[in-house]
């Protein structure tokens, strides 16, 4: 590349920069579309879902565009599975959604997820205990 004048160099840089901005805008549009299509999978933990959404938002921010945390909060509140329905209702009744932070929401939903896991674990343990008690009771003691 051999540009002979400052004007030629300026025009070249301006054209490159404008193309670069167009490419960035297209990438951001694709990322935002991807963000809007995200839904939490049934097998996914709350933290995994948060991280997936945050990664998209952070890439948009790195490209120089604004992406508010409140948008992520809204997305999560709308797309979490039904098993979090009661938790979301409780949040609606006790918190102002416009003021809730990502960290608060993550902690609240993770606590619910952990409580549910502990309850399910307890049911499994009780079921196993009941099953083994039946087996134990059916066995006749051997006497000599």
Domain segments of the chain: what residues? 14-136
**Angle of helix 69-79 relative to helix 46-62, nearest 10 degrees?**
150
What is the pLDDT of the chain when averaged over all its residues? 84
pLDDT tens for each residue of 82-131:
888 888 888 888 888 778 899 999 998 998 888 888 887 766 666 666 66
* Local structure of 124: helix, strand or coil: helix
- Contact by Cβ (8 Å): 111, 74: no
Between CA 41 and CA 44 the distance in angstroms is 5
């Amino acid at each position: 590349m051999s540009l002979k004048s400052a004007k030629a160099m300026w025009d070249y840089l301006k054209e490159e920069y404008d193309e670069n901005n167009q490419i960035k805008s297209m990438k951001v549009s694709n990322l935002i579309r991807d963000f809007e299509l995200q839904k939490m999978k049934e097998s996914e933990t709350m933290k995994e879902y948060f991280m997936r959404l945050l990664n998209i938002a952070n890439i948009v921010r790195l490209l120089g565009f604004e992406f508010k945390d409140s948008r992520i909060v809204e997305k999560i509140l709308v797309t979490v599975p039904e098993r979090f329905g009661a938790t979301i209702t409780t949040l609606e009744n006790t918190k102002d959604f416009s003021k809730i932070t990502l960290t608060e929401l993550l902690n609240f939903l993770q606590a619910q997820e952990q409580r549910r896991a502990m309850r399910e674990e307890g049911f499994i343990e009780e079921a196993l205990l009941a099953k083994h008690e039946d087996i134990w009771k059916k066995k006749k003691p051997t006497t000599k």
